[in-house]
Amino acid sequence: MSDLGGTVLIMLTLVISYLYLSRSASIYVLVHLFVAGYMNGFQKLFYQQPRPFWVDSGVKAIMCGRDFGMPSGHSSNSMHISVMIGFELISNGYSWGLTSWIIGLIGVPLTVGISRLYVGVHSIDQVLMGW
């Protein structure tokens, strides 16, 4: 589930927005995620906070990140995508199953953030900053 905030979720979101919403919505998603990714990289260089397994030998990372940890890019991507999908659903008048959508749109970023903690590549403050 940890990788869901990465390329898998981004590509899935682009395909779904193109097929079910509109071409302009998919372009909006692409531009927004490009800018968010750029800002995430800038913030990592600005904060230069090490990942937990870099400073504590007791933390065993299941997956290895090579750049700094603050903020979590996967947590950030999953939150950006959830918010964009939520806005698109509301602005396009989707009312069917709205409660299910809201639970899903909150659940995905929450699950991604928790999984980033579990695999040992981020600390809680890095995940919270990503959200």
How is 56-125 classified by DSSP, letter by letter?
-TT---SS---S--SSPHHHHHHHHHHHHHHHHHHHTT--TTHHHHHHHHHHHHHHHHHHHHHTTS--HH
Taking the C-alpha atoms of residue 39 and residue 33, their distance in angstroms, rounded to an integer, is 10
Q: What is the pLDDT of residue 46?
A: 94
Taking the C-alpha atoms of residue 7 and residue 25, their distance in angstroms, rounded to an integer, is 18
Q: What is the pLDDT of residue 114?
A: 93
Question: Is the model's pLDDT at 4 over the cut of 60?
Answer: no
Signed CA dihedral, 29, 108, 130, 10: sign only: negative
- Per-residue pLDDT of 13-44, as tens digits, reads 778 777 777 777 778 878 888 888 889 989 99
Taking the C-alpha atoms of residue 49 and residue 40, their distance in angstroms, rounded to an integer, is 13
Mean pLDDT highest for which of 6-15, 61-70, 78-87, 108-117? 108-117
**Percent over 90 (pLDDT), the chain:** 12
Taking the C-alpha atoms of residue 56 and residue 43, their distance in angstroms, rounded to an integer, is 22
Domain ranges of the chain: 2-130
Q: What is the pTM of this model?
A: 0.78
